Amino acid sequence: MSALALEEQLDAIDPLRHLRQHDELDLVPAQPPSVHNQTLELAFPPVSIRLLVDASPGCGGIAWPAGEVLSTYIARRGSLQGKHVLELGSGTGLVGLVAGMLGADVCITDQAPLLPIMERNVALNNLSDCVSVLELNWGDPLPRNLPHFDLILAADCVYFEPAFPLLVQTLVDIASRDDPEILFCYKKRRKADKRFFTMLKKKFSWEEAFDDPDREKHGKDAISLLRLARRR
C-alpha cells in the first residue's frame, strides 16, 4: 500500500487525526465523532446562513475558524453582484454560500465525499439558482466546463501535508488562466504549515488583508487572511 493510500485509509477511520499529536500542539483531544447532522445558524451581517455540519464524511464536514473569518470579511466588503466566485476546499460550502447570498455566481468545490453536504446546504439556503457544487481534486487538470472567475476563496485548506503541492498546482492553474483576486485564510496549527508556504512562495507573493478591522484579533488566534498574487 502506498503512503498516500495509507493516509487516506487512516483519514477514513479518524477524520481529525491530522489535528492531533503533531509537533508542538495537541490541537484536538481524542474523542468519538460527536457532530452528526447538526444545523447551525450563523450570522455575517448583512448575511445569515443555515449550515448543516456533519463529521461523518471527514473533517471538511464541520465549520472551521478560518472559514468564519473569511465569511465575515467578504460580507463586510459588501455586494458581489455580477462576480463569478470559486471556493476551493469548500467542505460545508460556508464561504461560498455567503458569497452567493451577496449576489455572486458561485461554484463551491471539494472531493466527492463532501459533495452531498454541500448540496444540502445549498438547498437549505435556497441558493440553487446561484451556487453550484462541483467535484474538484487539487492537482488534477481543471474541468473543461469550469467557468472563468473573478474571485477565488480558500479557507482552512492547509492541513494535510501530501496535498500541499496539489493545492499550489490548482492555485497556479486557476491564477494563470483567469488572473482573479485570491483570498486565502488559514489557521496556523503545525510547523509543517511552513512547508506549504515555502512551496507557495515559488509561485505567489502575498500580503495580509490590511483592510480587515479584526486583523489583530485574528492574529492572536493564529489566523491569517492573505491576498495572493501570481508571480510572473
Q: pLDDT tens, 14-41?
A: 444 444 333 333 333 333 456 677 888 9
Q: Does residue 212 or residue 59 have the better pLDDT?
A: 212
Average pLDDT across the chain, whole number: 85
Record the pTM. 0.83
Determine if residue 206 is labeled as part of a ligand binding site: no
Q: Does residue 36 or residue 111 have the better pLDDT?
A: 111
Determine if residue 110 is labeled as part of a ligand binding site: yes
Share of residues in the chain with pLDDT > 70 (%): 84
Give the pLDDT of residue 121.
96
Determine if residue 214 is labeled as part of a ligand binding site: no
Q: Does residue 106 or residue 31 have the better pLDDT?
A: 106
- Is 3.40.50.720 the CATH number for 35-230? no
Q: Domain map of the chain by residue range?
A: 35-230
Residue 7 clears pLDDT 70, i.e. is over it: no
Cβ atoms of 34 and 44 within 8 Å: the answer is no
Determine if residue 64 is labeled as part of a ligand binding site: yes
Average pLDDT over residues 160-189: 91
Average pLDDT over residues 53-78: 86
Residue 81 clears pLDDT 90, i.e. is over it: yes
Determine if residue 105 is labeled as part of a ligand binding site: no
Average pLDDT over residues 196-224: 92
